[in-house]
């Protein structure tokens, strides 16, 4: 009973110790939620079947959050799908080792990079990293291309013949590539490859390895044998080992003979070259080389094959995206069949990139990876994960998390990777190759090879499937598997001669129904107007015949299967105006339709539905509309609208400023008239004041400058203080003591026909205005700036840039600056309008002269300059650029000094003086007038598109021109300017960069504009002149320059070649030097070890000598010597005693042995005497003993007597 109690107590203590040693894991359950599972089993029973693993993980993560803690039997176990925690783990040096689940990989594939433990792993990784460097990858491109061409050959028999399983074919293909690129061996010639047995062997190992990972008992050969898996597994392993060994041996033999490998270049960084070199140098053993080779091939072939197959499968399920990808590839490779894809091509496959990323997001080829903590790891949320925890990183669920990827996270949509969608995502939210310290070594290899394969396959075939996306069932394996693999059908892409994309109508708008309708109602009178406008993705166009506004989503209608062509917005009240200007408000909630005799405002309906159409794409919608001040225009037939602009800072997006030819600006909020601001002398009722017109005093245009603080500070709300004040003192007190309040003003810059510019200082919604002017314009010009002024525009640079346009084609670029002191100090009264001295001055920096039509200026005939009003439009994407359109076409003007100004203002140097170094550039983009006749083909509408940037122009002839635009401000800069903005000092020192040189060579003084269709067909003479002129421009401005550029390129290439050769030589020298140094280092290391050993011996000898020397020193202390002698003596005694003791021990042992033996013998021979005999013998013996004693005594006595 006592023993039992003791046993139980001991067991209890052991159990308690066990629990105590794991207390930190139990404490972790309090910090990280998760399913506890059953005792002993933990959550293991939920993960018994591979098919259930991902589902079970998903349920736990849904229930407990993105990081959970539980038990796998007795093993503490975490599942993580939170990007931040994933980052903590992947970047921790204590989480480098793989989880125990991967133990089976060692057995199947060998102990290579994949499963090695740190620190061996870091050593191997460092040594093998160069095998996946950029240069090495580039050298694989011919292999990728060649093999994909062979794959296309193999796919030919499958064309249009129903759905097929392409996975085995793709795996064979990727295995071929992997062995060639890493092992340098073309397995295609091997018998085993041809018969597919090699692939079968690889698959068998992968399969058994996976079984072993998820059913740990199969790690025992006994159980494998029971399950009938051992024999094929063993055979496969042996065969693959032999296959790899043969390649290595062949390579070593080749190296000995000095022959070059047949397939790949002799780059020493190619995997096999690198590995065998390490073997030769003794860094790797033969087993290391075999294991690593095995792992690389295993790592490469199945993952890449799956990634390619899953992408094709998803594209087959989502044909729209497949078509988009096809379009991109077709644009790059117009001819189907075989073509070579270069590295640069792979970089340009932007859409394919999105698709590949999205495919690996939705179906990550490796769904779960595992790690274990080798020390405590502190997560960024403060929780410490103790040493010994197994961690599963659930890539699959993290890639499909709605919190990270939004509501359609579970579906395939490449837009998830558009820059604006991906930029806010956590860097570890998308990790198909993992990230951090132990990421996939072959990720770039995989991406390049997958892109090349996909590009060639998609260019030649359309892939379809009847398997719906929703029925996909994912099975966790080492790599991702599908329960049922969807089959794919290959349809050969028909060779269609794609019509060449029109260079003048890239958006193909000419053929749209919208513009067909617009053409019907085009005004007969050819004068420049603006019947188009664009807000975000909506293009508005005024249809004059039916008086309605047509709208089209130009961005979404690019896709092939768009159903909604355009929508008609019908104004609720009839618009009787002859609309010549369509202007959408800043937020796109209203559209102003302005004509010469009135303005109507149209309220836009709400947008909803997939493409954001109005009212989900209804074809016609009636919109609320209201005409402004109808009565006023009816009563004043001479009243004309000169300009309309939405106030850029109206909070309600509804403040419209209308400039009339009676020198007033009427401010409306929706339909309500809020203010009437006078900007000049009144015009006599009933007709324009003729004298005013003669002097050009009528305002023609205005624009709103950026906000500025009012210089004229006002006393703070006098009225409020009024009550507290003595009324008689009111003015005095107000003037003397009240604090001044700062007011924000929106200066309205108004230009009159004679070029005089005035400024109206007013708040956004204020009755109080101050008119100042005319503003002095410096430097003084002989005949004023803008005697034929027709338009003014403000670019909100710092200080604001003013563009003044004259109808003769001159554009003055000026700065609006504060005057130091008012020019003239008296207020003027001009026809009851109080005009203050101006607080501003305008400084003209440059004048650009536009060519208005080709004939007069370009043909050099000296004909009269064409005169036409110019309309100005700012480019909202690029502050430095604006557009000027007129009846002779369209110009794009780049104002270079704006960026110079910016740089000047940003520079902190006080001494720097602002100098205008680069003049602005006007590019004639579209010419609609190329003869001297009076007929014009005016621009009737101009709309600027954003993302992608473009411009749409509607011409009087009905033709629509749509062009793409460069948006990168850097590209618009002249080379000189460009150089200055780049802060690269060294570049400035070393002269202009090559790119700048090419830019300056290509910079044209004149460009060949696009020639719009003419209204009437040109005469032979006109055509001849046009041709001559075009040839002249092409020769002078294009061909000659291109020739120069070609020469510059040739020179540059030669120089680069020379430099490259020199650098290669230097690299080679350095490499040799490095080898010498490393050899020396080796030798030195050996020498060092030898020396340290010798040194140790010497030190020991020295110590002995020292002791002896000490002992024999004559002058050493007597006591010391005595002690040492004593010690010696004692040592000797101790030694002899020890020897004696040892002998004694031996004797003792012997004796014990003999005693024991004799006792045994005695026991054996013991004979029991009868009692009587025993007594008799005892008596006899006692008598004998007495006799002997007596005799001894006698002998002693005799001895004494004798004296012996
Ligand atoms: C689409 C293709 C591929 C995917 C999705 C992929 C994914 C991965 C992932 C997720 C890991 C990390 C496993 C873990 O942490 O447990 C990994 C490791 C690895 N991959 Fe890849 N891989 C791909 C292609 C390749 C290729 C082409 C190669 C070789 C040429 C390769 C060689 C390796 C190796 C050697 C490792 C172990 C790295 C180490 O632990 O240092 N992989 N791969």
pLDDT tens digits, 825-876 = 556 666 667 788 888 889 888 888 887 776 544 444 444 455 678 899 998 7
Q: How far is the CA of 1053 from the centre of ligand 1 (A)?
A: 38
| Spatial distance between the Cα atoms of 594 and 571, rounded to a whole number of angstroms | 13
Burial 942-973, CB ≥16 within 10 A → b, else e: bbbbbeebbbbbbbbbbbbbbbebebebeebb
Task: Between 153 and 50, name the one with better pLDDT.
Answer: 153
Element (H, E) at 318: none
What mean pLDDT value characterizes the chain?
81
| Spatial distance between the Cα atoms of 874 and 894, rounded to a whole number of angstroms | 11
Is residue 714 within 8 A of residue 734, CB to CB? The reply is no
Structure tokens at 242: 């032999």
pLDDT band (50, 70, 90) for residue 1195: confident
- Distance set, CA 1152 to CA 465, 1140, 1141, 1161 (Å): 93, 18, 16, 14
Q: How far is the CA of 440 from the centre of ligand 1 (A)?
A: 4
- Name the residue of 131, 139, 299 whose CB sits within 8 Å of the most ligand 1 atoms, as the mutation to test its pocket: 299
Among the atoms of ligand 1, which is closest to the Cα of residue 432?
5
Kindly report the protein residue whose alpha carbon is nearest to atom 27 of ligand 1: 300
Q: What was the pLDDT predicted at 236?
A: 87
**What are the tens digits of pLDDT across the range 164-223?**
889 888 988 998 888 888 877 666 666 666 666 777 888 888 888 888 877 777 888 888
- Name the residue of 122, 393, 442 whose CB sits within 8 Å of the most ligand 1 atoms, as the mutation to test its pocket: 442
Neighbours of 235 (CB within 10 A): 12
**What are the tens digits of pLDDT across the range 736-776?**
444 455 677 889 999 988 888 999 988 776 777 888 878 88
Q: How far is the CA of 536 from the centre of ligand 1 (A)?
A: 43
- Chain centroid offset of residue 514 CA: 38
Q: How far is the CA of 178 from the centre of ligand 1 (A)?
A: 13
Closest CA to 759 of 715, 692, 809, 823: 823
| Spatial distance between the Cα atoms of 385 and 542, rounded to a whole number of angstroms | 67
**What are the tens digits of pLDDT across the range 413-470?**
998 888 778 878 898 999 999 998 899 999 999 999 999 999 999 999 999 999 999 9
**What are the tens digits of pLDDT across the range 1121-1137?**
778 788 888 888 888 88
Closest CA to 942 of 934, 951, 950: 951
- Name the residue of 123, 173, 177, 303 whose CB sits within 8 Å of the most ligand 1 atoms, as the mutation to test its pocket: 303
Residue 250: pLDDT over 90: no
Q: What was the pLDDT predicted at 727?
A: 38
The DSSP annotation for 480-543 comes to -EESSPPPBEEEEPP---PPPPPSSBTT--TTSHHHHHHHHT--SS----B-EEEETTEEEEEE
pLDDT band (50, 70, 90) for residue 1017: low
Q: Is the peptide bond before 551 cis (omega within 30 degrees of 0)?
A: no
Q: How far is the CA of 442 from the centre of ligand 1 (A)?
A: 6
Is residue 553 within 8 A of residue 570, CB to CB? The reply is no
Among the atoms of ligand 1, which is closest to the Cα of residue 307?
1
User: What residues line ligand 1, using a CB cutoff of 6 Å?
Assistant: 98, 113-114, 125, 295-296, 299-300, 303-304, 307, 365-366, 369, 432-434, 438, 440-442, 445-446
Residue 561: pLDDT over 80: no
Kindly report the protein residue whose alpha carbon is nearest to atom 6 of ligand 1: 433
**What are the tens digits of pLDDT across the range 371-419?**
999 999 999 888 899 999 999 999 999 999 999 998 889 999 998 888 7
Mean pLDDT of 613-621: 82
**What are the tens digits of pLDDT across the range 1031-1090?**
877 777 778 888 888 888 988 898 888 899 889 999 989 988 988 998 898 889 888 888
Q: How far is the CA of 433 from the centre of ligand 1 (A)?
A: 6
Among the atoms of ligand 1, which is closest to the Cα of residue 439?
12
Angle between helices 350-362 and 319-332 (to 10 degrees): 150
Residue that has been written with the tokens 């892109």 in this structure? 451
Among the atoms of ligand 1, which is closest to the Cα of residue 360?
5
Residue 990: pLDDT over 60: no
pTM exceeding 0.75: no
The phi and psi torsions of 1066 (rounded to 5 degrees) equal: -60, -40
pLDDT band (50, 70, 90) for residue 666: very high
User: According to the per-residue pLDDT averaged within each range, which of 20-24, 443-447, 511-515, 764-768 is highest?
Assistant: 443-447
Q: What was the pLDDT predicted at 855?
A: 55
| Spatial distance between the Cα atoms of 505 and 485, rounded to a whole number of angstroms | 44
Kindly report the protein residue whose alpha carbon is nearest to atom 20 of ligand 1: 440
- Name the residue of 116, 440, 443, 447 whose CB sits within 8 Å of the most ligand 1 atoms, as the mutation to test its pocket: 440
Q: How far is the CA of 339 from the centre of ligand 1 (A)?
A: 29
Residue 560: pLDDT over 60: no
Q: What was the pLDDT predicted at 1203?
A: 59
Q: How far is the CA of 295 from the centre of ligand 1 (A)?
A: 10
Bridge partners of 749? Answer: 703, 759
Angle between helices 230-257 and 197-214 (to 10 degrees): 120
Mean pLDDT of 219-230: 83
| Spatial distance between the Cα atoms of 318 and 358, rounded to a whole number of angstroms | 12
Q: What was the pLDDT predicted at 943?
A: 93
Bridge partners of 926? Answer: 890, 1010
């Amino acid at each position: 009973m006592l023993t039992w109690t003791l046993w139980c107590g001991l067991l209890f203590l052991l159990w308690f110790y066990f629990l105590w040693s794991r207390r930190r894991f139990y404490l972790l359950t309090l910090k990280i939620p998760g399913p506890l599972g059953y005792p002993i089993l933990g959550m293991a029973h939920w993960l018994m079947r591979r098919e259930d693993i991902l589902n079970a993980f998903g349920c736990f993560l849904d229930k407990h959050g993105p990081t959970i803690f539980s038990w796998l039997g007795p093993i503490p176990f975490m599942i993580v799908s939170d990007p931040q925690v994933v980052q903590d783990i992947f970047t921790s040096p204590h989480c480098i080792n793989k989880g125990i689940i991967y133990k089976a990989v060692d057995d199947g594939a060998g102990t290579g990079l994949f499963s090695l433990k740190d620190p061996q792993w870091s050593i191997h990784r460092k040594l093998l990293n160069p095998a996946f460097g950029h240069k090495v990858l580039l050298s694989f491109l011919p292999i990728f291309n060649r093999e994909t061409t062979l794959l296309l050959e193999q796919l030919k028999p499958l064309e249009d013949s129903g759905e097929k399983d392409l996975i085995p074919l793709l795996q064979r293909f990727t295995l071929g590539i992997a062995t060639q690129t890493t092992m340098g061996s073309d397995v295609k010639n091997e018998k085993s490859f041809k018969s597919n047995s090699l692939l079968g062997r690889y698959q068998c190992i992968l399969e058994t390895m996976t079984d072993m990972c998820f059913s740990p008992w199969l790690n025992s050969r006994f159980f494998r044998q029971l399950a009938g898996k051992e024999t094929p597994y063993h055979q496969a392993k042996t065969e693959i080992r032999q296959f790899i060994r043969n390649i290595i041996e062949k390579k070593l033999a080749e190296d000995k003979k000095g022959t070059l490998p047949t397939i790949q270049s002799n780059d020493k960084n190619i995997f096999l070259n690198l590995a065998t070199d390490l073997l030769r140098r003794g860094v790797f053993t033969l087993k290391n080389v075999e294991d690593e080779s095995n792992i690389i091939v295993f790592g490469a072939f199945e993952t890449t094959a799956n990634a390619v197959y899953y992408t094709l499968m998803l594209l087959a399920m989502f044909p729209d995206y497949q078509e988009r990808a096809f379009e991109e590839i077709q644009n790059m490779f117009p001819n189907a069949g075989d073509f070579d894809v270069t590295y640069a091509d792979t970089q340009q496959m932007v859409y394919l990139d999105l698709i590949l990323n999205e495919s690996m997001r939705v179906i990550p080829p490796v769904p779960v990876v595992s790690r274990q903590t080798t020390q405590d790891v502190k997560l960024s949320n403060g929780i410490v994960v103790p040493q010994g925890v197994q961690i599963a990183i659930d890539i699959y669920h993290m890639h499909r998390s709605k919190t990270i990827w939004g509501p359609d996270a579970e579906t395939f949509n490449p837009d998830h990777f558009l820059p604006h969608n991906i930029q806010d995502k956590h860097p570890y939210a998308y990790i198909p190759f993992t990230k951090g310290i132990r990421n996939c070594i072959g990720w770039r290899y995989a991406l390049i090879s997958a892109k090349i394969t996909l590009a060639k396959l998609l260019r030649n075939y359309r892939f379809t499937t009847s398997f719906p996306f929703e029925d996909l069932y994912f099975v966790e394996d080492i790599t991702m598997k599908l329960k049922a693999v969807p089959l794919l059908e290959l349809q050969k892409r028909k060779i269609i001669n794609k019509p060449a994309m029109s260079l003048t109508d890239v958006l193909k708008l000419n053929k749209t129904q919208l513009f067909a309708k617009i053409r019907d109602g085009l005004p007969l009178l050819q004068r420049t107007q603006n019947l188009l406008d664009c807000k975000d993705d909506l293009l508005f166009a005024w249809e004059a015949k039916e008086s309605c506004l047509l709208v089209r989503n130009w961005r979404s209608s690019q896709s092939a299967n768009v159903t909604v062509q355009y929508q008609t917005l019908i104004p609720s009240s009839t618009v009787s105006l002859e609309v010549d200007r369509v202007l959408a408000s800043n937020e796109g909630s209203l559209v102003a339709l302005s004509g010469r005799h009135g303005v109507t405002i149209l309220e836009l309906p709400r947008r909803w539905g997939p493409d954001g159409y109005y009212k989900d794409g209804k074809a016609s919608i009636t919109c609320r509309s209201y005409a402004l001040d109808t009565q006023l225009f009816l009563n004043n037939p001479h009243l004309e609208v000169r300009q309309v602009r939405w106030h850029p800072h109206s909070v309600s997006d509804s403040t419209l400023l209308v400039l009339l030819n009676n020198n007033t600006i009427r401010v409306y909020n929706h339909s309500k008239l809020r203010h009437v601001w006078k900007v000049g002398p009144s015009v006599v009722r009933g007709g324009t004041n003729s004298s005013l017109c003669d002097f050009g005093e009528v305002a023609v245009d205005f624009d709103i400058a950026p906000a500025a603080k009012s210089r004229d500070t006002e006393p703070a709300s006098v009225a409020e203080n009024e009550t507290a004040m003595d009324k008689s003192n009111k003015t005095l007190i107000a003037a003397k003591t009240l604090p001044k309040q700062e007011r924000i003003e929106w200066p309205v810059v108004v230009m009159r026909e004679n070029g005089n510019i005035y400024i109206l200082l007013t708040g956004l919604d204020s009755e109080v205005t101050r008119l100042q002017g005319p503003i002095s314009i410096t430097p003084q010009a002989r005949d004023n700036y803008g005697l034929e002024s027709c338009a003014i525009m403000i670019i909100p640079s710092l200080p604001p840039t003013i563009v003044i346009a004259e109808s003769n084609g001159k554009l003055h670029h000026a700065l609006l600056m504060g005057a130091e002191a008012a020019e003239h100090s008296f207020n003027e009264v001009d026809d009851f309008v109080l005009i203050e001295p101006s607080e501003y001055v305008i400084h003209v920096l440059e004048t650009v002269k536009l060519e208005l039509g080709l004939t007069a200026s370009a043909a050099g005939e000296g004909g009269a300059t064409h005169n036409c009003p110019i309309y100005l439009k700012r480019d909202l994407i690029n502050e430095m650029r604006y557009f000027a359109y007129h009846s002779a076409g369209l110009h794009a003007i780049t104002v270079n000094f704006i960026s110079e100004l910016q740089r000047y203002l940003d520079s902190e140097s006080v001494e720097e003086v602002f100098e205008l170094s680069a003049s602005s550039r006007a590019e004639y983009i579209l010419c609609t007038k190329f003869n001297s006749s009076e007929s014009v083909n005016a621009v009737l509408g101009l709309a600027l598109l954003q993302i992608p940037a473009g411009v749409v122009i509607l011409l009087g002839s009905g033709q629509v021109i749509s062009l793409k635009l460069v948006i990168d401000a850097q590209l618009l800069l002249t080379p000189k300017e460009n150089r200055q903005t780049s802060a690269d000092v060294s570049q400035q020192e070393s002269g202009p960069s090559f790119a700048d040189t090419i830019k300056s060579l290509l910079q044209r003084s004149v460009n060949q504009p696009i020639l719009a269709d003419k209204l009437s067909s040109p005469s032979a003479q006109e055509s001849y002149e046009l041709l001559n002129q075009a040839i002249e421009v092409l020769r002078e401005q294009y061909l000659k320059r291109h020739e120069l550029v070609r020469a510059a390129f040739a020179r540059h290439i030669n120089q680069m070649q020379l430099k490259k050769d020199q650098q290669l030589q230097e690299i080679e020298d350095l490499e040799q030097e490095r080898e010498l140094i490393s050899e020396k280092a080796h030798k030195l290391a050996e020498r060092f070890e030898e020396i340290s050993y010798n040194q140790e011996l010497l030190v020991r000898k020295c110590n002995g000598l020292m002791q002896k020397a000490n002992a024999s020193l004559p002058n050493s202390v007597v006591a010391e010597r005595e002690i040492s002698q004593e010690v010696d003596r004692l040592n000797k005694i101790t030694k002899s005693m020890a020897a004696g003791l040892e002998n004694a021990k031996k004797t003792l042992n012997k004796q014990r042995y003999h005693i024991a033996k004799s006792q045994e013998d005695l026991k054996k021979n013991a004979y029991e005497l009868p009692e009587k005999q025993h007594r008799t013998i005892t008596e006899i013996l006692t008598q004998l003993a007495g006799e002997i004693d007596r005799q001894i005594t006698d002998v002693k006595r005799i001895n004494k007597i004798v004296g012996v």
